[in-house]
């Protein structure tokens, strides 16, 4: 499941190096991020100073979860993590406790991204290192040209949906446009255009 987080309130408990990565991902998704931690890394302080996040410089309290869509716990306190997970469950809030799969309602996948194309790899928290390795392999397999091709596919899809045509014919054309042969044809044209520049 890919969840749209734009504008949704998300809480991160912790503001160290591990939390930075989670905050960065939430910011990339345009979430409304609140960070609660007594101390913060330079990067977290910079985000707060720039108004990109709200940082509350104190220990986490149960009321910090009020109104949140999800919470990420990234501290070094197992007891705090268990309390956050229990409070999130009580409130019906999605929870991710970093590196503790049994206290996670969702996992952060490793994502290979080419524009709107996102290929996510998850090991359900069993081996983030393997997920990262596979992400790197996918980035090699699916190069930057996929971003341009996907933009073209989106434009063609829009045209087909505005045309008055049989839905089955539209479906067939959409699959033809996204075929391996169509991609090979796109690559030839794309390389030819780049060579002329």
Q: Give pLDDT, residue 13.
A: 98
Q: What percent of the chain has pLDDT over 70?
A: 99
Fold of 109-141: Double Stranded RNA Binding Domain (3.30.160)
Q: What average pLDDT does the segment 126-144 reach?
A: 93
Q: State the pLDDT confidence band at 193, using cuts at 50, 70 and 90.
A: confident
CB atoms within 10 A of CB 197: 4
- Residue 197: what pLDDT? 67
Mean pLDDT of 111-122: 90
| Nearest one of 78, 120, 122 to 103, comparing CA atoms | 78
> Considering just the CA atoms, what is the radius of gyration of the chain in Å?
21
Nearest to 121 by CA among 102, 94, 103, 142: 142
pTM value is 0.77
Question: Residue 56 has which token pair?
Answer: 């509350």
Q: Which of residues 59 and 110 earns the better pLDDT score?
A: 59
- The pair of three-digit structure tokens given for residue 77, joined into one six-digit string: 């306190």
Q: What percent of the chain has pLDDT over 90?
A: 83
pLDDT tens digit sequence for 5-61: 999 999 999 999 999 999 999 999 999 999 999 999 999 999 999 999 999 999 999
pLDDT at 1: 67
What average pLDDT does the chain have? 94
Tell me the average pLDDT across 80-92.
97
Q: Which CATH superfamily is domain 9-108 in?
A: NAD(P)-binding Rossmann-like Domain (3.40.50.720)
Residue 73, number of CB atoms within 10 A of its CB: 26
């Amino acid at each position: 499941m890919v969840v749209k987080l734009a504008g949704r309130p998300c809480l991160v408990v912790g503001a160290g190096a591990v939390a930075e990565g989670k905050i960065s991902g939430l910011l990339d998704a345009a979430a409304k991020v609140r960070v609660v931690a007594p101390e913060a890394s330079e990067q977290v302080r910079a985000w707060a100073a720039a108004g990109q996040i709200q940082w509350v410089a104190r220990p986490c309290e149960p009321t910090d979860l009020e109104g949140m869509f999800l919470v990420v716990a990234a501290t070094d306190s197992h007891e705090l993590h268990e309390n956050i997970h229990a409070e999130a469950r009580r409130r019906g809030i999605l929870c991710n406790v970093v590196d503790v799969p049994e206290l996670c309602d969702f996992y952060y996948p490793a994502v290979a991204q080419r524009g709107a194309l996102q290929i996510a790899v998850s090991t359900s928290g069993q081996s983030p290192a393997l997920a990262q390795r596979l992400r790197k392999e996918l980035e090699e397999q699916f190069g930057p040209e996929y971003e341009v091709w996907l933009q073209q596919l989106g434009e063609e899809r829009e045209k087909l949906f505005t045309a008055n045509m049989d839905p089955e014919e539209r479906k067939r054309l959409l699959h033809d446009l996204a075929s391996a042969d169509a991609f090979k044809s796109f690559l030839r044209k794309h390389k030819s255009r780049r060579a002329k520049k």
